[in-house]
Structure 1
């Protein structure tokens, strides 16, 4: 006997209700449901079967694809044992309200649109129990084969937090009696607990890993008033192109160019859509629109045979890349282009920057991405003139062409200046070997950086790519010339914020030109004197590049040369995403890009591990049980392939304020606060930035006290916060004490501007260490610390609270923030410790300062070096922190710099953690 699903008229589907033991009939267009079947359709035998692998029907064709009975049941219909084994009954309940939608063809977008359509009421396919919530999400855990018993599969759903919307338990902590524990910063964010049947996949990769995309709140308030009552910021922190460490799974790539997108909102198909109509159609999780499943969605084009829908990457992974078809291309994928602008003025040559830079480029030519053999390279040197180099193919010869007219920059030769890396490799290597000698005796002091940038732009503007600037002095001649505006009397006053803003419009205007031509700029700055980092960093900021700063660089110190060579080499080897675009319809956004129109973000070349913060507003009441955020970035790989990277994050909604507080991701909030603080310091004043950040924290504490504690708005003897937010105050204190916005009259504007560039671009993994340094005791670390653990990685010592109370006069300590490392040696350190680590007879013979720690022939030396190496290698990004030896009774500036990392202590006018908490208590009580 034919099932009801085979007798329905067009536009209707039948789904089995396990609890009622009968079919539920659904009108696809409206979502209306009824128990009685509509008028029957023609017999199934009269409906032609279409092979899933057949080509798409031409326009005007009305044939519909039908699956064989077993195939249809496997997708969600009927009563087969296969269906019961996979999902245990009818299809999942439709879920998400729309907050984000991806972009139109050829561009990408976020959209703050929200659906009012209600999902059809559909029964859950099994009843969750308390055991379903026993497990947190497990990334990378093997999944059961499809068809395994339901209890095994239910356990997998339980680990994803999708078996039921049980609320987070809210635990309150008294900050006055609970000192911060650094280990809490290693905890994962609160579990994402989606309602039943939200996801079509049991894969643990179906929701976004926090390293790609995380939200400040993991249970979204349904109304703006509820969000306002909490005083919490609602924002996303994105790192769409994060790097991969050894052992991490690469982002899966969909190569068959079958890209299923919603017809209305352009959402990409993802694990949170719903398949209906026997698997022939899918309902969008953003706007509820019903869409046809593409003909080739279930066809394996590699093997030329029917494929397994449930094995498709886009239904099992929250982060996926599609190979884009031609309609996503304005022009064919362009080759990667690198133009190096090298300062060869006297300060640059004398510091050793020129020799180190050219040697590093030569040593890393093999690492520059060039799999397709199309990468192009050019070298332009500059002082007060411009020096071009012609490198003919097939020879090791090159010739230098000098342009001294910097008022009207022109290219001295139409070809052989921008050359193919593979074809001109020999002449390029020969030139890099010679440049240092060419300018060894250069006595010219001055920098025509602006004209050099214009020349580089003329070379590459038809193609796009990356300009890499290496500059050792303040631009002083031609377009973009700058004046030394450093004034010690202004530091620490209300006028200081002016030093953090661009002094001339040239660099921002030039950045806009670059953005239009798909040109990105990276800045490597080396000056020992004032260089106006605030102005120069605007170029990377608006072209999605990055700024690197090496104050007082001197290659004669091996530590300086090693740090720069390592970081420069990593940047050269880094895959970059070219011609990227992303559309945002949000209240505000932060990061390195240019807003080309009101909502279109242009990112000419996106480096790995660059972070962005996106602020979200709730404009209308959310009526769905969960929401979906989807980030989609269209780009060209540096290997010549047009792709779309899609990152999907699903979060439950809630009307419960305690659930909102219990789901807060304190790491994401601290990242967002860092971006807001820098923005505020530039639009207002540094003092306003600090006051704003502090006030936001106070508002959160007041809201929590008022709504979540028994005392309510009355007086209280405690300072209450939820357990999952107890590290937020010290992260805010770390931000207030960071060089980027710290109250001080001693911080040079270049250092402050560089710190602000880091605060707005570092991924959370690096940023949190930058705000809250790590502190280790080495002289008494456990025996296993510094050795290889079971997972093949070096075991780190336990972290210490960031207070000098933990410093011992006979001890050896390591303090690091991802940018700098301090090896603190107590004044009573025993001679044996000094000998084992430094190969010196005693403490008195030890000198403080920048150093390279050698591995000596003893276990303690090997373990300490292993810890330092592990810290340097474990984080994402190219940074290679300097190591400074700090003697307890050594040079005061170095001692104070190291001690400033211990943010729980009082420093200058800045409070200790206890004083900070006490002042927060007073502000909350007085409210």
Structure 2
């Protein structure tokens, strides 16, 4: 390695200061000295004009590493599966078009995998390791799965020319073009990480691999930001962020580092938190903000280790090494002392609620999960209010197991019947709380009252907790019918599928939005658990969680007598109770100079132009933010920072900071190559729901379709040789090839699908999911997973390095269904086991413990765990499906017989979004429509 002196430009000299273990850089003409930290540490740039020793190249753009088993599942290697119809024809590159357009190569490794696969075709008819498992089916053609074949023609010369225009000497992302007409969607594409973020060298002051945000916390629709708004408009791709600030941690994942010394360095001008992308100047005494370039003083204690009471290592500080970090906030970040966690349960005890078993299941679940409710500091408070057409309060004096019921029948003027012992410390009143939860169902067992005073119950809960704030959890089985917020059944089959249908998706009463905003001001969040078998106006009730950063859970036709219903609700309710919540939170997103945060989507209330109020932030809830380019971006990279100030549920005020740095580019080629199709789909799902509420459902669908047309049109005219002329191909960049099928899935989702058969409650609930699910859970919701189980690879359903190995996913078309097969279809909310009518008795016996297909019953079920390898593998796959994603959801399992009940069959088949359904096009028809539009839009 060359000495520093050899690396310096003329006119400078380097001198080693042994006493302080650092280099002194001396300008020979003026003898001006610059400070440099010891060479063994990662060195930040010193000054815009001063030289610095370049640290080793940094591993920005972190790539996800897959274990061998996952790689095999993703690429299909080692299975020996190849499908002549899908691989050989479907994903091979087309011949060169007459326009001269070429299709570009994929990854060499993937081509190599594909070649290996074609050499290892399995014996036909074998579905399991033959020495230990039976051959269920002897039909020809089984044991064959699609192989991923990326295009392997030379790179498009035009795209190559564009791609050379990278900035800051960093090698730009390579653009690969694919033809959608000849490349069927491969579901394994969605498991790939987003395009790499290639920052200029030395962008970060440390060499940390965690210096940029993991996409599970914050991801951008573009991983290279256009330098001008005109370039962004030309690409037609929306610029935005998808943020999941409090995602749950799976086993083995690193927790967010916590800075406990309360030394928080922030920019004086724009209030950005110090992060890995600032610059240290003035001998390390000052730092330059990466957002607004303001020079700020480094806090005195920034380099001091308060724990050991000695000088600290600046370069070891978490905020300079991690993009996601949490600060313990000092007192100046508090308006009041940190609040305790408060839970007020509003339980519907009307006749319907009791008879369905909801009351018994809910109270038992609360009782069983009392020890899981966050209460580390012993301050958590709880209240229980039951309601039908009256309100029932429960006084629980501490130190006794007795409780007293107090009835308020005047629901027009709600008041608290007692000033104390209604909202109690959970630890102090534990005995009376447990006794009460065990008795509530018996108290109302013979209740024949029909009706619901939910509005007054909400007002009562609000009065109980207004001084503190917290979470109201509402459990309701009927349409609110008495007092404030009473609703009427407005479900009208005649307007379903018409332009008036969007009116059913808006709140019927202004009470819910105004009450929710009042709650937001008082730091009260609301979660809704809805159970009605009849119309319940989910659209109106979902307003409450929407504006108070809560969540809606819907259990249509709930009946606890069916164990599957009781288990699903108890599991999800228990997870919500155990969830660590972030209280009295506010969130703000800051962006580099030249960028502006334009609009917000998700569950919160916008308190000022860019301040989002979130009384209680649940884990795994997602938010989408749109960004505009206001001025030309001259910096080589931009920074986007999300800060959430909150109180933990154990009474500590903290600030979670998530920082994402993205390179800028003036190359349209690089803009397309950096596009993240999953983030784009998440943002467009949020925009589609919002448009369906402000306009009409039809407008929402048209906007989604038009956005895809715009992106494809821009790509064709700018990135292909066809230009503005008509083309026989439908070109798009390789990293966006799944966007059309994701948008088709969105158009076919219950939330915005064109249909006159969807009940308003189901549509409103689907819209609530579309606007709150994180990308990891949203993708299967709009693009379900489809697996073949009867002929899955021998290792599928067994334990590998990363848990249960899943079978390779199939394209979402019923062409893959076989009459003698067993298939699993899942969208994160429901799991369907499709059983072909010619399934052999041995398969039915091994999975369902029944003699043959004829005696098998379709519908909601629980699979038996039998003493045979196939049963254990199928059960393991079902269990993994329920557990592999973040969130509380526990999907129901339905057995679907090929010749079974038509509604259930149609529901399962609606997940196969590449098929034609009713008035909705197949994938082939959809991309043909896109091609016609793209060609036609250039001929006006």
Structure 1-normalised TM-score?
A: 0.86
Structure 2: any 5+ residue segments left out of the alignment? 26-31, 68-165, 590-595
For structure 1, which segment, 297-306 or 632-641, has the greater mean C-alpha deviation from structure 2 after superposition?
297-306
Structure 1 127/464 Cα, relative in aligned 2: closer, same or farther at 3 Å? closer
User: Are positions 1:574 and 2:579 aligned together?
Assistant: yes
Cα separation, 1, equivalents of 2:624 and 2:5: 44
* 3-state SS in 1 of match to 2:642: strand
User: 1:17–1:23: 8 Å Cα contact kept in structure 2?
Assistant: no
Match of 2:718 among 698, 701, 707: 707
User: 1:72–1:279: 8 Å Cα contact kept in structure 2?
Assistant: no
Question: What residue in structure 1 maps to residue 734 of structure 2?
Answer: 723
Match of 1:431 among 420, 430, 436: 436
User: 1:17–1:123: 8 Å Cα contact kept in structure 2?
Assistant: no
Cα separation, 2, equivalents of 1:299 and 1:811: 66
Per the TM alignment, residue 770 of structure 1 is displaced from its structure 2 partner at its CA by 0.2
Structure 1 252/136 Cα, relative in aligned 2: closer, same or farther at 3 Å? closer
Match of 1:550 among 552, 555, 573: 555
User: 1:164–1:193: 8 Å Cα contact kept in structure 2?
Assistant: no
User: 2:354–2:445: 8 Å Cα contact kept in structure 1?
Assistant: yes
Per the TM alignment, residue 71 of structure 1 is displaced from its structure 2 partner at its CA by 6.0
Per the TM alignment, residue 300 of structure 1 is displaced from its structure 2 partner at its CA by 1.2
User: 1:338–1:378: 8 Å Cα contact kept in structure 2?
Assistant: yes
Provide, for residues 379-433 of structure 1, a one-character-per-residue CA deviation record: whole Å limited to 9, x for no partner: 0000000000000000100010000000100000000000000111111000000
Per the TM alignment, residue 79 of structure 1 is displaced from its structure 2 partner at its CA by 9.7
* 3-state SS in 2 of match to 1:494: coil
User: Are positions 1:863 and 2:789 aligned together?
Assistant: no
Provide, for residues 788-817 of structure 1, a one-character-per-residue CA deviation record: whole Å limited to 9, x for no partner: 1023x0000000000001101000000000
Cα separation, 1, equivalents of 2:469 and 2:60: 52
Question: What residue in structure 2 maps to residue 18 of structure 1?
Answer: 7
Question: What residue in structure 1 maps to residue 613 of structure 2?
Answer: 602
User: Are positions 1:401 and 2:327 aligned together?
Assistant: no
* 3-state SS in 2 of match to 1:291: strand
Structure 1 257/127 Cα, relative in aligned 2: closer, same or farther at 3 Å? closer
User: Are positions 1:799 and 2:750 aligned together?
Assistant: no
Alignment of 1:467-478 (within 5 A): 467-478=472-483
Alignment of 1:845-856 (within 5 A): 845-856=855-866
Question: What residue in structure 2 maps to residue 905 of structure 1?
Answer: 915
Cα separation, 1, equivalents of 2:56 and 2:461: 64
Structure 1 93/892 Cα, relative in aligned 2: closer, same or farther at 3 Å? farther
Structure 1 186/223 Cα, relative in aligned 2: closer, same or farther at 3 Å? same
Cα separation, 2, equivalents of 1:162 and 1:525: 53
User: Are positions 1:137 and 2:60 aligned together?
Assistant: no
Match of 1:814 among 824, 831, 847: 824
Match of 1:69 among 11, 20, 37: 20
Question: What residue in structure 1 maps to residue 535 of structure 2?
Answer: 530
Question: What residue in structure 2 maps to residue 298 of structure 1?
Answer: 303
Per the TM alignment, residue 17 of structure 1 is displaced from its structure 2 partner at its CA by 9.1
Cα separation, 1, equivalents of 2:256 and 2:23: 30
Provide, for residues 321-354 of structure 1, a one-character-per-residue CA deviation record: whole Å limited to 9, x for no partner: 0000000000000100000000000000000000
User: 2:804–2:877: 8 Å Cα contact kept in structure 1?
Assistant: yes
User: 1:222–1:654: 8 Å Cα contact kept in structure 2?
Assistant: yes
User: 2:240–2:625: 8 Å Cα contact kept in structure 1?
Assistant: yes
Cα separation, 2, equivalents of 1:282 and 1:68: 25
Structure 1: any 5+ residue segments left out of the alignment? 1-14, 26-65, 95-118, 142-160
User: 1:298–1:307: 8 Å Cα contact kept in structure 2?
Assistant: yes
Per the TM alignment, residue 24 of structure 1 is displaced from its structure 2 partner at its CA by 9.7
Per the TM alignment, residue 849 of structure 1 is displaced from its structure 2 partner at its CA by 0.0
User: 1:140–1:205: 8 Å Cα contact kept in structure 2?
Assistant: no
Per the TM alignment, residue 21 of structure 1 is displaced from its structure 2 partner at its CA by 5.0
User: 1:73–1:82: 8 Å Cα contact kept in structure 2?
Assistant: no
Alignment of 1:456-855 (within 5 A): 456-583=461-588, 586-791=597-802, 793-855=803-865
Question: What residue in structure 2 maps to residue 58 of structure 1?
Answer: none
Structure 1 81/231 Cα, relative in aligned 2: closer, same or farther at 3 Å? closer
Provide, for residues 196-222 of structure 1, a one-character-per-residue CA deviation record: whole Å limited to 9, x for no partner: 110011111110000000000000000
* 3-state SS in 1 of match to 2:871: helix
Cα separation, 1, equivalents of 2:22 and 2:861: 67
Question: What residue in structure 1 maps to residue 45 of structure 2?
Answer: 92
Alignment of 1:157-168 (within 5 A): 165-168=170-173
Cα separation, 2, equivalents of 1:803 and 1:284: 52
Question: What residue in structure 2 maps to residue 192 of structure 1?
Answer: 197
Cα separation, 2, equivalents of 1:725 and 1:788: 33
Question: What residue in structure 2 maps to residue 36 of structure 1?
Answer: none
Per the TM alignment, residue 73 of structure 1 is displaced from its structure 2 partner at its CA by 6.9
Cα RMSD of the aligned pairs, angstroms, is 2.4
Cα separation, 1, equivalents of 2:60 and 2:523: 49
Provide, for residues 510-555 of structure 1, a one-character-per-residue CA deviation record: whole Å limited to 9, x for no partner: 0011011000000000000000000000000000000000000000
Question: What residue in structure 2 maps to residue 263 of structure 1?
Answer: 268
Match of 1:415 among 414, 417, 420: 420
Match of 2:251 among 236, 246, 251: 246
Cα separation, 1, equivalents of 2:786 and 2:731: 27
Match of 2:224 among 219, 224, 240: 219
Cα separation, 1, equivalents of 2:652 and 2:548: 21
Cα separation, 1, equivalents of 2:722 and 2:34: 56
Provide, for residues 273-331 of structure 1, a one-character-per-residue CA deviation record: whole Å limited to 9, x for no partner: 11122222211111111211111111111111121111111011000000000000000
Per the TM alignment, residue 595 of structure 1 is displaced from its structure 2 partner at its CA by 1.4
Provide, for residues 676-733 of structure 1, a one-character-per-residue CA deviation record: whole Å limited to 9, x for no partner: 0000000000000000010011000000000000111111111000000000000000
Cα separation, 2, equivalents of 1:874 and 1:121: 50
Provide, for residues 802-858 of structure 1, a one-character-per-residue CA deviation record: whole Å limited to 9, x for no partner: 000110100000000000000000000000000000000000000000001111110
User: 1:124–1:196: 8 Å Cα contact kept in structure 2?
Assistant: no
Report the number of matched residues. 824
Cα separation, 2, equivalents of 1:470 and 1:816: 27
Structure 1 283/442 Cα, relative in aligned 2: closer, same or farther at 3 Å? same
Cα separation, 2, equivalents of 1:512 and 1:135: 40
Cα separation, 2, equivalents of 1:73 and 1:446: 81
* 3-state SS in 2 of match to 1:367: coil
Structure 1 19/81 Cα, relative in aligned 2: closer, same or farther at 3 Å? closer
Per the TM alignment, residue 183 of structure 1 is displaced from its structure 2 partner at its CA by 0.3
Cα separation, 1, equivalents of 2:629 and 2:36: 44
Cα separation, 1, equivalents of 2:556 and 2:304: 57
